[in-house]
Structure 1
Amino acid sequence: MSDTQTLIENRPPSVAALFLERVAATPDAEAYRYPVPSPSGEGPDDWKTLSWGQAAERVHAIAAGLIQLGVRPEERVALASSTRIEWILADLGIMCAGAATTTVYPQTNAEESAFILADSESRVLIAEDAAQLAKAREKRAELPELAHVVVVDAAGVERTAEEGDWLLTLDELESRGAAHLQKHPELIKERVGAITKDQLATLIYTSGTTGRPKGVRLPHDNWSYMAKATAATGLIHGDDVQYLWLPLAHVFGKVLTSGQIEVGHVTAVDGRVDKIIENLPVVQPTYMAAVPRIFEKVYNGVAAKARAGGAAKYKIFQWAAGIAREYAKVTQDNFRRTGTASAPFGLTTKHKAADRLVFAKIREAFGGRLRACVSGSAALAPDIGYFFAGAGIHILEGYGLTESSAASFVNPGEAYRTGTVGKPLPGTEVRIADDGEVLLRGPGIMQGYHGLPEKTAEVLEPDGWFHTGDIGELSPDGYLRITDRKKDLIKTSGGKYVAPAEVEGQFKAVCPYVSNILVHGADRNFCTALIALDEEAILGWAKENGLEGKSYAEVVAAPATVALIELYVTELNQGLQRWQTIKKFRLLPRDLDVEHGEMTPSLKLKRPVVEREFGHLIDEMYAGTREA
């Protein structure tokens, strides 16, 4: 048995146990950085730090406070908050109390929040602020199990007399917990010591495209395995600085906190997406995880900036982008064959010139120290991946689902291959079913869906194989390529199959103005597309093309804009099979977003919702054809 297998197989039963080990090993080492906005709201944020020992003080106080409120092992404590330091401390506190965290996205409306709280039978809700508290207050009568609400940021919150002990602040909870610990100093050690590996740690509700979300039951062992397995990949090091902004209510964000505890590196936490560009030079991360939309936005922004600089500057950018892609493909191919990421002399010379002119500035914008980015949640267009790889921003695509604790596959460091999601984590098994579906088995797989045994049986076989619903291909040496969602594959009326995600990804690499695209064509005799444009990029173009001062909706409706996008659709079609080509398209009057329910909080497209919302545009494109 290898050292890696030994480490993984001898893992402790919980991340709570790993956390106590980490605190004992490096109590004075820096664990977290987090921003405190300036009192005036203007000027840069003040970044504070917490050592592992300081973090443990707060975590233990939260855990003891919950125990003092009567929370018992495996009982659920819900967390409705954006990504911030208190989310991590509260989650660790819940686990150290032996309880289980129910995650709730802060964007979730009052009705769905109430469903999640009721279905999970959550006893306590830790709410970020007055807005999250308002949802619980509105639905309090429907939530008899909810004994307490704890508010993190109490600004603007007034407690009514009848609420009494139902409503607490996080400060009050921690004060109660600290007092409780003085009477019972061994309490946390005892609670953590009693946790078994099969005990429920986390309930994450998947944001389904239809019907109610399902609660995915993830026991403590899932996270302990993830911590050991992600560390065993060698992708994270003890001296790393991670920039964590992903939603922690999502499994992808949550898994990053487990790996950090195992290796003990620093994590800078700030979930404000609008602050990413500003924070990167301040945090100077060595690695960060993101979803493809972020890389697409950066790529579009760089291209738009070059275009705004005039024809010569844009020509240099296009030349450099071509060099980046060629260099990445050649070096990755050579590494695969020889173990050395080399390139011919002529290409290397061009690459050095492009680096001076373009790539160095991009790396600087990411903070200048970035060793690698991990991308997940959806497919990254390979051409965008190759661009960043050639520019020295190494994007390692990974793959997993909520049901597999997020990280089932990840690309291995230097040996990464753009366009694949890499190799399985140590201890995870994979096989491809006869119909191409990816099946997974291993310690990261869920126990099942909460209270839904029939739904569980549909995807989880008695021998442990989990049906992912994704179609994929395995290379002879174990790299996985995901081609599409099984249910998203389009079969045209001519009997041809089209993988919409593949076509959509290619368009994102071709068109620097696209934000989102949905390819449609099931049971139709040709494919069409709904296209939403990136507001910043297209308004920048509009300013240079006689449409200055127009609103986004006016710009996308303008004939000149439609003609511009038509050029990119034509370019896309040249690289597609005849039955894949986009015959017609419509530009959407606004971008797709989480608020309208068209995107999940992890920025995945909800196809049925978009097709319903803009069904009139789809019908319009097929009007007058034989099937209309």
Structure 2
Amino acid sequence: MNIVNFIAENARKFPLKPAIGFKKQNEWSELNWRDFQVMVAKTAGALQSVGVCEGDTVGIYSDNSAEWIVFDLAVLSLGAVTVPIYSTNTEQQAEYIIKDSELKIILVGDQQQYDAVYRISERLDALQLIVASKKKIWIKPEKSVFLEDFIKDSSEQITVCERSDEDLATLIYTSGTTGVPKGVMLTHGNFHKCIEAHFEFFKFKNFQDQTSMAFLPLSHVFERSWTLLSLYGGAKVYFLENTKLIASALQEVRPTMMCAVPRFYQKIYAAVNEMVKEGSPLKRKIFNWSLQVGTQVSNLRSNAQEVPLPVRLKFAIADKLVFGKIKMKMGGKLWFMPCGGASLSPEVTQFFDAMGIHITVGYGLTETTATLTAFPFTGYEHGSAGKVLGDTQIKIGANDEILAKGSGIMKGYYKKPQETQEVFTADGWFRTGDAGRFDEQGNLFITDRIKDLMKTSNGKYITPQPIENLLSNDQYITQAMVVAEGRPFVSALIIPNFDALREQIAKMNIHFTSWEDILNSESVKDFYHQKLEQIQKSLPGFEKVKKFTLMPFEFEVSTGEITPTLKVKRNVVLKKYEELIERMYAH
């Protein structure tokens, strides 16, 4: 069945219930299920009128928005194939995807994206129409139209194209930490079976009463799958266009569910710990007591045990004194937060669990329609990636590589038979490129990316992610990249949390000039040296970062140093900062 069939079903069941929310003239507006169905149908009709047929590819190059999801669902309704492009992709990257996927029509979200696509259209004859999602974009009438005008005279009725499980729904180009982007072919069956597997796994109650906020890029499989799942189950989804406004959006929307990447949780964890450290002895005592009570409750719940009344009363006090205040900064209603994209330290998941926010750590790839494993509501193990979902099968192969089979696995890479063949074993198992192991309870532990595993010149193996997580859990460190391959010891490029550091240098009576000057000052280097000694106390000697360089700017998506889900592209960073790295080993 076509994955979009849920729209008609939900419009019938909840016609006047809000389906989506979005900002309009700085105020949040909503569209009910009946109007949402009409909007998708009108957009599909307009696409049909300009010749979009089943199997055609249609692009979206935009930040998250209501228009993004409406356009996506309209494309799928026609049996056509959606090709999302990250809003942060450069013109060159966008052109590669447009050309490779043979796009004829594309939706753009802002002026910069429109200008880039217009220039691309002058070089590629195949690209026939650019649809601008907002009227504030300045467009050239030839080859361009505003979405509002595009759908204006369209019919409110559309026949949804029948699809089989094997029919293509989307091409998602992996940003990849290495090599040329590859178009991952995901089908209607991939999405449908994965969504059903989640509902079976979690057994949600009253899911239609939940509110989610699309905060991660919809161009990424994680947010796209989660948003489709949320809408499929009748939940309301708000779309955040500007991720820098996340703090105020959480207060305004007050979501109950939201998926995020580890950095989001690490920042909150680090900020709370710093605040506690600077608080009075009494405040520290209250916080530590509350954390103890919260941990007791979460341990009982995770083992599916009843929480005794005296403990429940203590938790109510802890919630009133401590947890409630932290949760209010996140809107006050969040309880379920899927997390993926990279590993997350057990200290962080335990901390949120103690507060009553269940971070559902999961593991998956674009090629597996996101989730292969996840934390269940009970019986999960902090530090693991959870248990297997649905009909997924996982086994551990050579070099501890995680191999997977199941209905979430992609059809292959678009127009790349050789690359497709390379990621499947002869008997059809998908090779994830990640190393892992299972414990006796069936929890999967990711040990590292196989290609990221480093061997020092002394023959010691280093897995960088746990070390990088340990460093970036600290309030004064935003990002860290470990270097060790073929080297006598571990070093790191460290990007400070500039806001926290600015406050710290004021306390140290250091006058601000520029970040280059500040980070080169001996007192700031000493401050970080002491920090690292403290953070790394529990690490064995060969894993400790011995030398580091403080970077005066963050790694950026636009410069190709990190992926849109904030994973460091090691090969790019190693090459770009080769001189800085060599300096750490020079003497």
TM-score between both structures, scaled by the size of structure 2: 0.94
Partner of 2:468: 504
Q: What are the equivalent positions in structure 2 for 1:90-489 lying under 5 Å apart?
A: 90-160=71-141, 163=142, 166-178=143-155, 185=157, 188-189=158-159, 191-193=160-162, 195-234=163-202, 236=204, 237-305=207-275, 311-313=278-280, 331=297, 333-334=299-300, 339-340=304-305, 355-489=319-453
Q: 1:316: Cα distance to partner?
A: 5.8
Contact kept, 8 Å, 1:355 with 1:391, in 2: the verdict is: yes
- Seen in structure 2, the aligned counterparts of structure 1 residues 434 and 547 have a Cα distance that, compared at 3 Å, is same
Tell me the secondary structure at the aligned position of residue 591 of structure 1: coil
RMSD (Å) for aligned C-alpha atoms: 2.3
Q: 1:21: Cα distance to partner?
A: 2.4
Contact kept, 8 Å, 2:290 with 2:322, in 1: the verdict is: no
Structure 2 residue 581 is the aligned partner of structure 1 residue 612: no
- Seen in structure 2, the aligned counterparts of structure 1 residues 530 and 471 have a Cα distance that, compared at 3 Å, is same
Tell me the secondary structure at the aligned position of residue 436 of structure 2: strand
In structure 2, C-alpha distance between the alignment counterparts of 1:244 and 1:563, rounded to whole Å: 41
Q: 1:288: Cα distance to partner?
A: 0.9
Contact kept, 8 Å, 1:299 with 1:384, in 2: the verdict is: yes
C-alpha distance after superposition, 1:61-96 (max 9, x if no partner): 111111111011111000001011111101000101
- Seen in structure 2, the aligned counterparts of structure 1 residues 355 and 496 have a Cα distance that, compared at 3 Å, is same
- Seen in structure 2, the aligned counterparts of structure 1 residues 595 and 316 have a Cα distance that, compared at 3 Å, is farther
C-alpha distance after superposition, 1:298-323 (max 9, x if no partner): 2233345556xxx444x566656655
Contact kept, 8 Å, 2:15 with 2:33, in 1: the verdict is: yes
Partner of 1:33: 21
Tell me the secondary structure at the aligned position of residue 370 of structure 2: coil
Q: Please list every run of 5 or more consecutive structure 1 residues that lacks an aligned counterpart in the other structure.
A: 1-12, 38-44
Contact kept, 8 Å, 1:66 with 1:177, in 2: the verdict is: no
Contact kept, 8 Å, 2:252 with 2:331, in 1: the verdict is: yes
Q: Which amino acid aligns with 1:584?
A: K
Partner of 2:42: 61
Q: 1:414: Cα distance to partner?
A: 3.8
C-alpha distance after superposition, 1:543-598 (max 9, x if no partner): 22213544433332222221121112112332112221111111112121212211
Range moving further from structure 2, 26-35 or 512-521: 26-35
In structure 1, C-alpha distance between the alignment counterparts of 2:132 and 2:490, rounded to whole Å: 49
Q: 1:211: Cα distance to partner?
A: 3.0
Q: How many residues align?
A: 585
In structure 2, C-alpha distance between the alignment counterparts of 1:608 and 1:197, rounded to whole Å: 37
Contact kept, 8 Å, 2:121 with 2:128, in 1: the verdict is: no
Contact kept, 8 Å, 1:382 with 1:505, in 2: the verdict is: no
State, as a whole percentage, how many aligned pairs show the same letter. Answer: 31
In structure 1, C-alpha distance between the alignment counterparts of 2:293 and 2:404, rounded to whole Å: 34
Range moving further from structure 2, 273-282 or 136-145: 136-145
1:542 to 494, 505, 512: 505
In structure 2, C-alpha distance between the alignment counterparts of 1:586 and 1:321, rounded to whole Å: 34
Q: 1:129: Cα distance to partner?
A: 2.3
In structure 2, C-alpha distance between the alignment counterparts of 1:356 and 1:26, rounded to whole Å: 36
C-alpha distance after superposition, 1:296-347 (max 9, x if no partner): 222233345556xxx444x5666566556655665555556x53275998x9
Q: Please list every run of 5 or more consecutive structure 2 residues that lacks an aligned counterpart in the other structure.
A: none
- Seen in structure 2, the aligned counterparts of structure 1 residues 324 and 379 have a Cα distance that, compared at 3 Å, is farther
- Seen in structure 2, the aligned counterparts of structure 1 residues 348 and 495 have a Cα distance that, compared at 3 Å, is farther
Tell me the secondary structure at the aligned position of residue 473 of structure 1: strand
Tell me the secondary structure at the aligned position of residue 132 of structure 1: helix
- Seen in structure 2, the aligned counterparts of structure 1 residues 316 and 618 have a Cα distance that, compared at 3 Å, is farther
Tell me the secondary structure at the aligned position of residue 361 of structure 1: helix
Contact kept, 8 Å, 1:101 with 1:203, in 2: the verdict is: yes
Contact kept, 8 Å, 1:526 with 1:583, in 2: the verdict is: yes
C-alpha distance after superposition, 1:205-257 (max 9, x if no partner): 11123332111011111111122122222265221111221100000111012
- Seen in structure 2, the aligned counterparts of structure 1 residues 317 and 299 have a Cα distance that, compared at 3 Å, is farther
- Seen in structure 2, the aligned counterparts of structure 1 residues 354 and 547 have a Cα distance that, compared at 3 Å, is farther
Contact kept, 8 Å, 2:16 with 2:34, in 1: the verdict is: yes
Q: Which amino acid aligns with 2:176?
A: G
Q: 1:466: Cα distance to partner?
A: 0.8
In structure 1, C-alpha distance between the alignment counterparts of 2:345 and 2:412, rounded to whole Å: 32
In structure 2, C-alpha distance between the alignment counterparts of 1:76 and 1:432, rounded to whole Å: 36
Q: Structure 1 segments of 4 or more deviating over 6 A?
A: 347-353
